[in-house]
A and B are shown apart, each in its own frame.
Chain A
Amino acid sequence: MQDAITAEYSGPPKLNYLNNGFTLKSWLLTKDHKRIAIMYLITVSLFFMAGGLYASAIRLELLTPASDLLQTGTYNKVFTQHGILMIFFFLIPSIPAVLGNFILPIMIGAKDLALPRINLLSLYIYWVGGAFTVWALLQGGVDTGWTFYTPYSTTFSNTYVMAVGLGIFINGFSSILTGLNFIVTVHTMRAPGMTWFRLPLFVWAQYATSLVMILGTPVIAITVLLLAIERFARVGIFDPTIGGDPILFQHMFWFYSHPAVYIMILPGMGVISELISNFSRKKIFGYEFIAFSSIAIAVFGFLVWGHHMFVSGQSVYAGLVFSFLTMVVAVPSAIKMFNWTATMYKGSISYDTPMLYGIGFMGLFLIGGLTGLFLGAIGLTVHLTDTYFVVAHFHYVMVGGQVIAYLGGIHYWWPKMTGKMYSEFWGKISAMLVFVGFNLTFFPQFILGYMGMPRRYSYPPEFQVLNIFSTAGASVLGVGLILPLIYLTQSLISGKAAGDNPWMLPGLEWRTSSPPPTENFDVMPVVTWEAYEFGEESGLDLEGARANESVRTV
């Protein structure tokens, strides 16, 4: 049976999800999770490019202490919009809505997500929210910082806070519905034999992420709604002049936005678990520990929001409790780190592009995670908070973590998504450029932060040297990020056929054709092997593949 699935198919092109309809309608009204994922991929990439342009503007402006490229007002808008686009419209949907949407149902052997119409609705909500936000940005933008702190955002800003707030409010429901869909799908749509502890760790990570999405996103939704109402009605609970409480906004905002940080890293951790294990061709070390640490992070993530507010006037005791819990939440991440490292021990490691991203992630996330400890140690954070140390830390986690993992995931599943193989040479070059450029950009910012350079600021002249390093690094990073756009597009046109299972991996997604048919599997799969099973039980025809490989390489 296995042979029938994986054997090379010769004959007229097989019907797959890409070629079973070419009309616009067949895309816009599709209920196929794979097509929806592709549409997400395109939109998310556009937002990433827009956010990247803003980032370039920021780095260029910060070349010099004076505001000579951008005027202060423009600069404020640029960093705000960089944050809003990157966080709400790129990072949060990136791995869940693109990779999760595409691969999660296939990984568990389902024909589709449990609620395909909801999935399409979620895409449309994302588009509407995005369009709304882009419209507001084109009208004049917003200058409050992505955190929308009151009372500046409610009372003093003269920009399009209400419109952008509503855009984020709308977009939130896209995230909620995606999370809801994943939870239902993991519960009810697993193929026969796919028990909870045979699930790939990517699925566990997505499940944990979905919990955060469902429990956290509604809170930010109501918070930005209250913000928008307050701006519109000119009365509200955040206005200190009538007895309202601007700090309450911060509590409500971070109650979501701290867990949202885990929306922006857990899926990345899931991808890395896949990459490390699969490219070491070895069962992952401590499967249960990685799976449960994801859930632990999701749960504890809801208890630490106050560490964003150490200096905002909350009580000393609240600060201490939040600092303690922050230290606790560091432990599951450390467990993951150790398990990934141990997975490589006695593996059979191959260095394909996705694995390079995987190893890069480990290095960057290590720094990102450890600097998180700096920021959790309350006495130190008083000095560090609101400085570039924070900026560097969260970029290490979000870019070094999620974006690297996202790129790794894209490269990993690209053959499955498109049926085409990209240029391995350029893939490796770009992975290394991203790694080097990233460190050059953000490592100097740790030092700047400790020196006291505040975020969202121009700076005194003595900080210029490090800022020049940072900008120089950003240009390397920029090149590293543009390259994939080119060679991945090129692979669509002239890439060689990838085959159904180019790396001979045991996951269910590699046991269907590339690209997969509309209902994912020709035959309902029955799972008889554990996750990451590379031995006999996996039923993979390794000898045949090796023979094929030698033919191909000769």
Chain B
Amino acid sequence: MQTNSWVPLFPEQASTFAWQVDLLYLYLIVISVAFTIPIVVAVFLFALKYREKEKFASGAEIHGSMVLEAGWSFLPFVISMTIFLGGAVVYYNQYKMPEDAMQVYVVGKQWMWKIQHETGQREINELHIPVNRKVKLTMTTEDALHDFSIPAFRTKADVVPGRYTYLWFEANKPGKYHLFCAEYCGLNHSGMGGYVYVMEQSDFDNWLEGNVSGQTPVEQGRDLFENKLGCASCHAGGPQQRGAKLEGIYGKDVHLVGGGTVTANDEYIRNSILNPGSQVVEGFQPIMPTFKGQVTEEQLVSLVAYIKSLSGITGSTSTSQPASNSAANSGSNARTNSNTMTPRRADRGQGNTPGSNPNAPGPANR
């Protein structure tokens, strides 16, 4: 139903119940028009025809009509009941959870969607699913309310802390569709979104095996940074960002929380992605989650390449460093006093003893 017109009126229909929602929508539009036109025409007709002939002349003596009143009480009631029934049927179809669905787990977090497939693959702000297969999402959140919304599938559900909510759909058209967070969740609420990729089964199998398209490392890194891993939601720059600004950082000395300085080189960047809590830059909270297990070595290389490109440096010089340097890294960790990093949110946490607040973000429980 996607039109190529200048002003699109409908989002794409990409799930099995999208047509039902659209049908209900059209039914309501028809009803609205059917109500609006007579009333508007009547108002205009009366307005023209019964325009005052003489100043302060009074209108006809009509007080009301029981028949009319009964009629126009009953008719809207009946129509509204048809709407209710239509809505109820569509809703029931959406909420009757299928038994045989592919399971996907979703965790909302300010401000990214963390998604894990049954087969172990993790993604951030992206969801890859096969076409023509029922998918059931089991969702929760680490912090505030969020809402997992895919307009092309005509469905959404709130994600509530402390409980699980569920959502299912069956995509029936391959493509790339918007994923939004529809429940306001704070500063970067607008940035909390991404895409749902609906793929043919064979492509999906390929994707599960981790095949990546032929991009340069910097392009791949940018893609990871901005979309796939959602780094940009904290590191895109700007005074209110929660993460350090990365433009021009490469090769500079950075001051760490708890004293000490390190040079922002490849190994520092890599370490910061894998063990974010160990070397926190001064002025920032230790809130970055670890990406250990979510990024492959290849992706790390691309990310480092991209971050270097932000400082105007191209070409990868040290792709083979990380393994040999990890020992040195842990040594520097000890020096920079990682004990000072308490896993607590700045404005919260004093009211709870450790352990009573499973949501306390920090390196320890990621």
Contacts and interface: CB of A to CB of B under 8 A. Distances in A.
- Judged by CB atoms under 8 Å, the answer to whether A and B touch is yes
Interface string A357-401: 001001100110011011011111111011100000000000000
Nearest to B110: A156
A26 interface: no
Nearest to B155: A382
B202 interface: no
Nearest to B163: A313
A280 B161 contact: no
A152 B158 contact: no
Interface in A449-468: 450-452, 454-458, 460, 462, 465-466
A149 B54 CA distance: 57
Interface string A149-174: 10110011110000000000000000
B10 interface: yes
Contact of B10 (A75, A241, A450): A450
B64 A289 contact: yes
A346 B151 contact: no
Centre residue among A75, A144, A149 by max chain B CB count within 10 A: A149
B25 A359 contact: no
A233 B46 CA distance: 62
B226 to A, nearest CB: 14
Contacts of B273: none
Contacts of A234: 348, 350-352
A72 interface: yes
A134 B184 CA distance: 23
Q: Is the interface of A mostly helix, strand, loop or mixed?
A: helix
A376 B90 CA distance: 13
B69 interface: yes
Of B73, B94, B181, B184, the most chain A CB neighbours within 10 A belong to B184
Interface string A426-454: 00000000000000000000010011101
Contact of B87 (A71, A145, A378): A378
Interface string A62-76: 000001000111011
B149 interface: yes
A128 interface: no
A350 B95 CA distance: 53
A259 B68 CA distance: 29
Interface stretch (B208-216, B245-253, B309-317, B356-364): B356-364
B62 A285 contact: yes
A319 interface: yes
Nearest to A386: B182
A476 interface: no
A330 B83 CA distance: 12
Interface in B22-66: 24-25, 28, 31-32, 35-36, 39-40, 42-43, 46-47, 50-65
Nearest to A149: B145
Interface string A340-357: 011011111111000000
A252 interface: no
Interface stretch (B187-195, B258-266, B300-308): B187-195
Interface residues of A, number: 104
Interface stretch (B1-9, B99-107, B127-135, B330-338): B1-9
Given A311-B156, A386-B156, A379 B20 contact: yes
B358 A241 contact: yes
Contacts of A137: none
A320 interface: yes
A539 interface: no
A283 B178 contact: no
A504 interface: yes
A363 B39 CA distance: 9
B156 A382 contact: yes
B356 to A, nearest CB: 7
B191 A72 contact: yes
Contacts of A472: none
A242 interface: yes
B11 A451 contact: yes
A145 B144 CA distance: 13
Contacts of B10: 450-451
Interface stretch (A7-15, A43-51, A331-339): A331-339
Given A241-B357, A379-B86, A546 B8 contact: no
B59 A346 contact: yes
Given A366-B35, A370-B32, A535-B58, A283 B63 contact: yes
B275 to A, nearest CB: 25
B53 to A, nearest CB: 7
Interface in B164-212: 165, 178, 180-191
Interface in B261-305: none
Contacts of B244: none
B254 interface: no
Interface in B141-166: 143-145, 147, 149, 151-152, 154-158, 160-163, 165
A185 interface: no
Nearest to B83: A377
Nearest to A157: B186
Contacts of B178: 452, 460
A313 B56 contact: no
A386 B7 contact: no
B44 to A, nearest CB: 9
Interface stretch (A109-117, A297-305, A321-329): A321-329
Contacts of A504: 56
B240 interface: yes
Report which residue of B7, B55, B57 has the largest number of chain A beta carbons within 10 angstroms of its beta carbon. B55
Contacts of A281: 52, 56-59
Contacts of B184: 76, 144-145, 147, 149, 152, 455-456
28 contacts: A76-B186, A143-B187, A234-B348, A241-B359, A246-B145, A281-B52, A283-B63, A285-B65, A289-B73, A311-B156, A316-B91, A335-B76, A345-B42, A346-B50, A351-B51, A359-B47, A366-B36, A370-B31, A373-B28, A373-B32, A373-B80, A374-B25, A377-B28, A378-B87, A380-B24, A382-B91, A385-B156, A535-B61
- Pairs A-B, 7 closest by C-beta atoms: A452-B151, A379-B90, A282-B59, A377-B87, A240-B162, A234-B351, A534-B58
Interface of B: 6-11, 20-21, 24-25, 28, 31-32, 35-36, 39-40, 42-43, 46-47, 50-65, 68-69, 72-73, 76-77, 80-81, 83-84, 86-95, 110, 143-145, 147, 149, 151-152, 154-158, 160-163, 165, 178, 180-191, 238-240, 345-348, 350-352, 356-359
